[in-house]
Amino acid sequence: MRTGAQQFPAVIDVTGMSVLVVGAEGGVGPAVVDGFDAHGARVHAGYLSPGGVADMPGDRVPANADPVAIRDFLDRVEASNGPLDALIFVSPPVSVGKALDIDPALYAQIARDELVLPVLLLREAAARMAQRGFGRLLSFCSMSGKTGAHPGVSPYAAAKGGLIAFTRSLAAELAPRGVTANAIATALFDVQVTKTGEDLEHVLKGIPVGRVGRSQEAAAAALFLASRLSGYITGETLNMSGGRFMD
């Protein structure tokens, strides 16, 4: 083995880190939890839906986007899992419907659940991390939040577009304090192929790699962006679309 190889640390280095995964029960959440656990992180699961998952210990995340409740929630997480090093927000399932047909109340609910709630969680976690001089903030968003090109998901696209913009602003403010903020924009993944309302066969023809994404691939991206060696990457939105969308 060459000397340089011996001196170069592992790219994915999250060993011993205190990691909170919000949305651990849905979408790619279980794979993200498993990935961090397999790489030696101390993982705390936060559930966005009642009941959580029986074999995945964790806490219910405050559903009303109340700042005091969110602060209390993170206090409990840190009391049981140590000072927070990374927060990963995994989006709830997509709601499908035409923009002009969706109930206005659903727009308000999705804006609360998928924009206001993660913004307040990221903000509270960021304040704690900035005091300690290290932190990794990461949100799973959607290509619809970047492109607006997916039919039937207008409230979701609007919320995730706002979350991507907030992530960039947060990254710019936190960069000098050792805290990064990034997003992962996923397109069609294995956990959602039956929920988008899209013609899968037609969609696959437009994906250069010829398949949907795998949850383990999403987890691997999260592991890298949360790693100790990812400190020079911030304010970015990583496309995970199999080449369907490119910047």
86 forms beta bridges with 19, 136
Known catalytic residue at 156: yes
Give the separation between CA 38 and CA 219, rounded to whole angstroms. Answer: 11
Mark residue 96 as left, alpha or beta (left: phi above 0; alpha: psi -120 to 50; beta: remaining): beta
CB atoms within 10 A of CB 133: 9
Q: Give the tokens for residue 168.
A: 């960039």
Pairing verdict, β 86-89 and 135-142: parallel
Tokens of 139: 């949100």
47, 107, 156, 232: which one is catalytic?
156
In angstroms, the CA 168 to CA 58 distance is: 29
Crossing angle of helices 117-132 and 67-81, in 10° steps, is 50
What are φ and ψ of residue 37, in 5° steps?
A: -65, -40
**Residue at 2: amino acid letter:** R
Q: Please identify every residue annotated as catalytic.
A: 156
